[in-house]
């Protein structure tokens, strides 16, 4: 099966969304990255619910983000902490935002996706989770700081 560039872009976007959900689930339930990866790839990617059909996710992007977030969690959390105000260390923020920053941090540190694309994609995810809230602007500011730290030579 050949996948068009547009379809691959949608699958990568879906994989980012699923990675945030999976990281949240891992933190909430204590499941391993292997168990969550298996569950998402088997049951969530392209699943059909009463509300509609879920987008098929790109397994390679999903795995890179999950493994990167888990393997580099300390570095990502420190980078996130530096982007947050002193009164709000990462441990105090919403667990969904924590998962989002970890997935985005993994993609920024992977250096395969342009930082502006990472920021745009994860702000869209924040908009999906926090429709009408202030969180997307907060996510944009934090990710912008993280991107500048990850790419000190310039975006």
CATH number of the domain where residue 34 is located: 1.10.940.10
Distance CA 54, CA 43 (A): 10
Evaluate whether residue 89 is within a structural domain: yes
Task: For the chain, report the end-to-end CA distance as a whole number of angstroms.
Answer: 35
| Structural domain that includes position 60 | 5-150
Structure token pair of residue 99: 């998962």
Residue 3, H or E segment: none
Distance CA 54, CA 61 (A): 17
Residue 132 has, within 13 A of its CA and on its CB side, a CA count of 0
pLDDT 10s per residue in the chain (155 long)? 567 888 889 889 999 999 999 999 999 999 999 999 999 888 878 766 666 666 788 899 999 999 999 999 999 999 999 898 766 767 788 999 999 999 999 999 998 899 999 999 999 999 999 998 889 999 999 999 999 988 877 66
Evaluate whether residue 100 is within a structural domain: yes
């Amino acid at each position: 099966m050949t996948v068009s560039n547009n379809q691959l872009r949608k699958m990568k976007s879906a994989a980012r969304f699923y990675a945030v959900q999976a990281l949240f689930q891992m933190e909430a339930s204590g499941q391993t990255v292997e168990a969550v990866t298996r569950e998402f790839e088997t049951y969530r990617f392209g699943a059909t619910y009463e509300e509609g059909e879920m987008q098929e996710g790109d397994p390679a992007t999903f795995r890179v983000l999950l493994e990167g977030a888990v393997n580099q969690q300390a570095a990502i959390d420190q980078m996130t902490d530096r982007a947050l105000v002193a009164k709000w260390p990462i441990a105090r923020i919403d667990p969904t935002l924590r998962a989002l920053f970890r997935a985005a941090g993994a993609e920024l540190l992977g250096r395969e996706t342009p930082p502006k694309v990472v920021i745009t994609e994860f702000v869209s995810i924040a908009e999906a989770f926090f429709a009408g809230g202030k969180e997307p602007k907060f996510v944009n500011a934090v990710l912008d700081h993280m991107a500048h730290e990850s790419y000190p030579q310039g975006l």
